[in-house]
C-alpha cells in the first residue's frame, strides 16, 4: 500500500529526540484512557489516547528500535486497509486534541502534540477525511471553511450594521486593532459581531475588520495540513501588516490563538511585529484600564458557569481572565464546574470533530462527562469563549434535553456594559 | 568458580557494562536527535513549570490520586504505581546489602534504613506490582496495551524482588548459596534487559517530565 509507506516516511522524516523520548517513555499503563471524554463517554478501550497515535508508534518502532528491526527480518510489513481506516477514524473522529490526557499521564507524555503529528502524517499521505479536506480546500479558495466569500462577508456586515445599528469599520488603516472573527460567528452567532462592536465602542478602541484577513479559523490545524495552516495564518498577519495595526484581536475561536501565535512567531520571529490578543485579554485590558465597566446585576438571580475551552485555557493559558470577567457580571451567582481550569473536561466538539459528520454520534457520547458536570451544579447558563464549544453545547444540551442557555462571553459582556454613569456618582 | 561467584563477578560486570552503554546510547540518541524549539511568545516561566511538574509528578500524584481528575475511576492504578516505584527505590538504595553493593561499584556509601523497614517496602513494592499486573489482565484498556514486552518486563522486575525476599527470609529451606546465586542472576538479567525495554523509562521519565513542565509553564498553565 503506497499511502502506508508515505505515512511512515513522513513520521521518520519528522522523528527527533522529542518524539523518540515520548514514545520510549510510555509504560503502556492506560491511565490516559481515564482522562479522555471519548473513552469515558463510550467505555470503549479502543479510544484510549495512546492508541490514537498507532501509525506513528508503529513507524518509529519498526524503523528506530532494535526489536523493531529484528522483527522486520521475520515479519512482512504493511498494514491492512482496515487498520488504516481505523487509524484515520481514531486520530480525527475520536479526538479533539484537547490534551487532557497529557496532564493525566504519569510520564507527562505530550499526547496532544503526538496526535497532531499523527494527523499531519495522515494529511501528508492524503488520508485526511473528506469533510476536513474539503473544508481546507474551501478555505483556500474562498477564504473561509464555510465558504464565506469576500462579497458574502461584506453583505453580512452591511446587514448587521442595519439590523443592529452598530459600527463595523472595514479596512481602515493605521488603527490600533485588527479584529478577526470566525466564519462560525458570522454565520451562526452574528450577535458576537454586534456585541464586539458595542464593547469596542464603549472602550473607545480604534479598530477595524479586514476583507483579506477576515478569518481566524484555521481548518488546516484540524486536518494537519501544515502548508495550508501557514498560508491561512499568513493571510491574517499580512492584512495586519498592511493595515499597520498594533495588534490582532482574535474573537471566540479556540485554536486560532495558539495557531496564530505559534505560526506568526515562526514567520516573523520574536518579538512579533504586532501583538496577538484573544478577546478575553482584550476585555480584561479594557476593564483594568477603566475603559469599560460592567454591571454586577446584569444577570441577577441567574446561575452562570464557565466552560474552559481546551485550546484557549489548557493550551492558551487564558484561565483567570474569564473568571475575572464573570465574577464582575455575576458576583453572587457564578459557579464553577468541577474539574475546571486546566483540568476541565473537553466538550468533545473541537479539533475538527464537530465538522466531521462521521463523528456526529460519538461526539454526543463524548459530551457525557460534561452533562454529568452540569447536572451537579444545574446552572441557568453556561458561558464559553470558543464558538465550537458553543455549538457543541447547543447540540449536546438539545440531545440530552437539558434546559440551559449557552452564551458567548462577548455577548455576556456587551449585555452587562454600564452605559450610563451610575446614580450619585 | 561456582555459580554465585560467576553471577556476582564477571557476569555482573558484563551486565553493568551492557546497562551503562545501553542507557548512554538511549540518552545520547534523544539528545543528539534534538528537538524543535518553541518560538511562540511565552506566557509564563518554563522553569517554574518544570519545578511544579516534579513536585506534582513525584510527590503528589502517585499518592493522592483522588485529587487528580483523570483517575476517578481507577485510582488504584495510580496508587499501585506509586507503591511499586517508591518501594523499589527504597529497596535498591536504602537497604544495607544493596548499599554495600553500590559501595563496591562507586567507592562510597551512605546511611541505610533498618531491615524491617526495607522488608516492608519490598512487600509494598511486590503488592504494587501484583495490583498493576491484575489491572493489565482485568481491565479492557490494560489488556489492549499489554503485549509480550509488558509481560516480560514485569517478570524481569519481579524476579529480583521475589528472590531477594526469599533470600532474606530463608524461605523454602533453600541453601543460602543457591538462592543468592539465583538472586544475582535475576539482577544481572534485569540490568541487561533494561536498555532494550520500556523499563528504561526510569531515565526517559526525567526527559519527558522536564519537557512537559517546560511546555505547560511557558503556556502559563499548571503542568
For residues A121 and A137, membership in a common domain is answered with: no
| Interchain pair B72, A34: CB under 8 A | yes
Which phi and psi (to 5°) does residue B33 adopt? -70, -25
**Cβ contacts of A29 on chain B, cutoff 8 Å:** 77, 81, 132, 145
For residues A212 and A118, membership in a common domain is answered with: no
* Sequence-separated (6 or more) residues with CB below 8 Å from residue A141: none
For residues A33 and A142, membership in a common domain is answered with: no
| Interchain pair B70, A266: CB under 8 A | no
Which of the listed residues A288, A318, A351 is the one where a domain comes to its end? A288
For residues A280 and A309, membership in a common domain is answered with: no
For residues A90 and A188, membership in a common domain is answered with: no
What is the C-alpha to C-alpha distance for residues A104 and A35, in angstroms, rounded to an integer? 6
Which of the listed residues A229, A264, A288 is the one where a domain comes to its end? A288
| Interchain pair A30, B35: CB under 8 A | no
What is the C-alpha to C-alpha distance for residues B214 and B45, in angstroms, rounded to an integer? 8
Establish if A425 belongs to a structural domain: no
Check if the beta carbon of residue A192 is closer than 8 Å to that of residue A252: yes
Provide the pLDDT for residue B70: 52
- Over range A281-298, report the average pLDDT: 96
Would strands A334-335 and A275-278 be described as parallel, antiparallel, or unpaired? unpaired
Establish if A274 belongs to a structural domain: yes
CB pairs under 8 A between A and B: 158
| Interchain pair B212, A25: CB under 8 A | no
Name the least confident of A41-45, A66-70, A346-350: A66-70
CATH number, residue A400: 3.40.50
ipTM: 0.92
| Residues β-bridged to residue A406 | A382
Establish if A293 belongs to a structural domain: no
For residues A135 and A281, membership in a common domain is answered with: yes
For residues A317 and A367, membership in a common domain is answered with: yes
Of A53, A36, A58, the closest CA to residue A45 belongs to A36
Establish if A404 belongs to a structural domain: yes
**Cβ contacts of B81 on chain A, cutoff 8 Å:** 29, 106
R_g of chain A computed on alpha carbons? 22
CATH number, residue A270: 3.40.470
What is the C-alpha to C-alpha distance for residues B223 and B216, in angstroms, rounded to an integer? 5
What is the C-alpha to C-alpha distance for residues A315 and A297, in angstroms, rounded to an integer? 32
For residues A197 and A334, membership in a common domain is answered with: no
Q: Which three cell numbers stand for residue A128?
A: 485526511
Percent of chain A surpassing pLDDT 70: 98
Number of domain units in chain A: 3
**Cβ contacts of B61 on chain A, cutoff 8 Å:** 106
For residues A138 and A108, membership in a common domain is answered with: no
CATH number, residue A23: 1.10.1060
Check if the beta carbon of residue A105 is closer than 8 Å to that of residue A111: yes
Instruction: Give the CA dihedral A14, A20, A26, A28, nearest 10 degrees.
Output: 60
pLDDT surpasses 90 at A69: no
pTM of this structure? 0.94
A239-260 pLDDT per residue, tens: 999 999 999 999 999 999 999 9
Check if the beta carbon of residue A67 is closer than 8 Å to that of residue A18: no
Helix (H), strand (E), coil (C) string for chain B: CCHHHHHHCHHHHHHHHHHHHHHHHHHHHHHHHCCCCCCCCCCCCHHHHHHHHHHHHHHHCCCCHHHCHHHCCCHHHHHHHHHHHHHHHHHHHHCHHHHHHHHHHHCCCCCCCCHHHHHHHHHHHHHHHHHHHHHHHHCHHHHHHCCHHHHHHHHHHHHHHHHHHHHHHCHHHCCHHHHHHHHHHHHHHHHHHHHHCHHHHHHHHHHHHHHHHHHHHHHCCCC
* Sequence-separated (6 or more) residues with CB below 8 Å from residue B150: A28, B136, B198
Say which of A46, A103, A109 has its CB closest to residue B208: A109
A29-45 pLDDT per residue, tens: 998 998 999 999 999 99
What is the C-alpha to C-alpha distance for residues A122 and A128, in angstroms, rounded to an integer? 6
Establish if A42 belongs to a structural domain: yes
Say which of A17, A30, A109 has its CB closest to residue B142: A30
The residue range of the domain holding A68 is: 2-127
The helix/strand/coil state of A358 is: helix
Say which of A27, A39, A313 has its CB closest to residue B201: A27
A197-206 pLDDT per residue, tens: 999 999 999 9
What is the C-alpha to C-alpha distance for residues A34 and A103, in angstroms, rounded to an integer? 11
**Cβ contacts of B216 on chain A, cutoff 8 Å:** 342
Establish if A420 belongs to a structural domain: no
Establish if A245 belongs to a structural domain: yes
Please spell the DSSP secondary structure of A143-168, one letter per residue. Answer: SSTT---HHHHHHHHHHHHHHH----
| Interchain pair A45, B141: CB under 8 A | yes
| Interchain pair A107, B43: CB under 8 A | no
Provide the pLDDT for residue B170: 79
Query: What integer best gives the mean pLDDT of chain A?
Result: 93
For residues A383 and A312, membership in a common domain is answered with: yes
Check if the beta carbon of residue A403 is closer than 8 Å to that of residue A381: no
pLDDT surpasses 90 at A66: no
For residues A318 and A384, membership in a common domain is answered with: yes
**Cβ contacts of B34 on chain A, cutoff 8 Å:** 16-17
Calculate how close chain A gets to B85, using CA atoms only, in Å: 12
Percent of chain A surpassing pLDDT 90: 87
Of A158, A147, A221, the closest CA to residue A187 belongs to A147
B161-216 pLDDT per residue, tens: 999 999 988 777 778 889 999 999 999 999 999 999 999 999 999 999 999 999 99
For residues A101 and A159, membership in a common domain is answered with: no
What is the C-alpha to C-alpha distance for residues A169 and A326, in angstroms, rounded to an integer? 28
- Over range B40-61, report the average pLDDT: 86
Which of the listed residues A91, A106, A127 is the one where a domain comes to its end? A127
Nearest-Cα residue of chain A relative to residue B73: A34
Establish if A299 belongs to a structural domain: no
Amino acid at each position: 500500500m503506497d499511502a502506508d509507506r508515505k505515512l511512515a516516511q513522513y513520521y521518520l522524516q519528522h522523528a527527533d529526540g522529542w518524539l523518540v523520548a515520548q514514545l520510549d517513555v510510555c509504560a503502556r499503563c492506560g491511565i490516559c484512557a481515564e482522562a479522555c471524554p471519548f473513552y469515558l463517554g463510550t467505555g470503549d478501550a479502543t479510544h484510549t489516547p495512546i492508541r490514537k497515535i498507532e501509525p506513528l508508534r508503529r513507524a518509529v518502532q519498526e524503523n528506530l528500535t532494535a526489536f523493531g528491526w529484528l522483527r522486520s527480518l521475520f515479519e512482512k510489513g504493511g498494514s491492512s486497509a482496515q487498520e488504516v481506516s481505523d487509524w484515520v477514524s481514531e486520530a480525527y473522529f475520536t479526538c479533539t486534541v484537547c490534551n487532557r490526557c497529557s496532564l493525566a499521564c504519569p510520564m507527562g507524555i505530550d499526547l496532544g502534540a503526538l496526535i497532531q503529528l499523527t494527523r499531519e502524517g495522515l494529511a501528508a499521505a492524503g488520508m485526511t477525511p473528506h469533510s476536513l479536506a474539503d473544508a481546507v480546500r474551501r478555505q483556500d479558495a474562498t477564504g473561509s471553511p464555510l465558504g464565506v466569500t469576500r462579497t458574502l462577508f461584506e453583505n453580512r456586515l452591511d446587514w448587521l450594521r442595519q439590523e443592529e445599528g452598530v459600527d463595523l469599520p472595514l479596512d481602515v488603516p493605521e488603527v490600533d486593532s485588527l479584529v478577526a472573527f470566525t466564519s462560525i460567528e458570522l454565520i451562526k452567532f452574528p450577535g458576537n459581531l454586534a456585541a464586539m462592536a458595542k464593547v469596542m465602542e464603549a472602550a473607545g478602541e480604534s479598530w477595524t475588520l479586514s476583507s483579506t484577513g477576515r478569518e481566524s479559523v484555521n481548518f488546516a490545524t484540524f486536518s494537519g495540513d501544515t502548508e495550508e495552516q501557514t498560508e491561512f495564518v499568513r493571510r491574517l498577519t499580512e492584512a495586519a501588516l498592511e493595515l499597520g495595526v498594533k495588534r490582532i484581536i482574535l474573537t471566540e475561536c479556540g485554536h486560532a490563538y495558539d495557531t496564530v501565535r505559534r505560526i506568526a512567531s515562526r514567520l516573523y520571529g520574536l518579538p512579533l511585529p504586532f501583538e496577538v490578543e484573544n478577546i478575553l485579554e482584550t476585555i480584561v485590558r479594557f476593564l483594568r484600564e477603566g475603559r469599560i465597566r460592567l454591571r454586577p446585576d446584569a444577570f441577577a438571580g441567574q446561575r452562570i458557569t464557565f466552560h474552559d475551552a481546551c485550546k484557549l485555557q489548557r493550551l492558551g493559558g487564558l484561565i483567570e481572565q474569564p473568571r475575572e470577567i464573570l465574577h464582575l457580571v455575576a458576583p453572587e451567582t457564578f459557579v464553577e464546574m468541577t474539574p475546571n481550569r486546566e483540568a476541565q473536561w473537553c466538550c468533545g466538539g473541537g479539533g475538527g470533530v464537530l465538522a466531521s459528520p462521521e463523528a456526529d454520534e460519538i461526539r454526543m457520547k463524548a459530551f457525557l462527562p460534561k452533562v454529568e458536570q452540569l447536572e451537579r451544579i444545574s446552572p441557568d447558563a453556561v458561558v464559553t469563549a470558543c464558538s465550537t464549544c458553543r455549538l457543541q453545547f447547543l447540540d449536546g444540551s438539545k440531545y440530552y434535553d437539558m434546559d440551559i442557555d449557552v452564551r458567548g462571553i462577548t455577548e455576556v459582556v456587551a449585555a452587562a456594559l454600564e452605559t450610563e454613569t451610575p446614580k450619585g456618582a | 568458580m561456582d555459580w554465585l561467584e560467576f553471577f556476582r563477578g564477571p557476569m555482573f560486570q558484563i551486565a553493568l557494562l551492557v546497562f551503562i552503554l545501553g542507557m548512554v546510547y538511549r540518552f545520547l540518541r534523544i539528545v543528539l536527535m534534538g528537538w524543535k524549539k518553541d518560538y511562540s511568545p511565552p506566557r509564563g516561566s518554563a522553569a517554574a513549570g518544570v519545578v511544579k511538574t516534579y513536585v506534582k509528578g513525584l510527590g503528589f500524584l502517585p499518592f493522592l490520586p483522588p485529587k487528580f481528575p483523570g483517575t476517578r475511576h481507577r485510582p488504584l492504578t495510580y496508587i499501585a504505581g506509586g507503591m511499586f516505584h517508591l518501594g523499589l527505590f527504597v529497596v535498591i538504595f536504602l537497604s544495607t546489602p544493596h548499599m554495600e553493593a553500590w559501595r563496591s561499584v562507586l567507592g562510597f556509601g551512605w546511611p541505610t534504613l533498618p531491615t524491617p523497614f526495607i522488608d516492608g517496602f519490598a512487600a509494598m513494592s511486590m503488592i504494587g506490582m501484583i495490583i498493576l499486573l491484575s489491572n493489565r489482565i482485568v481491565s479492557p484498556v490494560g489488556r489492549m496495551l499489554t503485549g509480550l514486552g509488558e509481560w516480560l518486563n514485569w517478570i524481569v522486575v519481579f524476579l529480583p524482588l521475589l528472590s531477594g525476599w526469599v533470600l532474606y527470609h530463608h524461605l523454602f529451606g533453600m541453601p543460602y548459596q543457591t538462592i543468592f546465586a539465583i538472586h544475582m542472576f535475576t539482577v544481572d538479567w534485569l540490568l541487561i534487559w533494561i536498555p532494550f525495554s520500556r523499563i528504561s523509562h526510569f531515565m526517559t521519565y526525567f526527559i519527558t517530565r522536564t519537557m512537559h513542565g517546560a511546555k505547560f509553564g511557558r503556556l502559563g498553565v499548571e503542568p
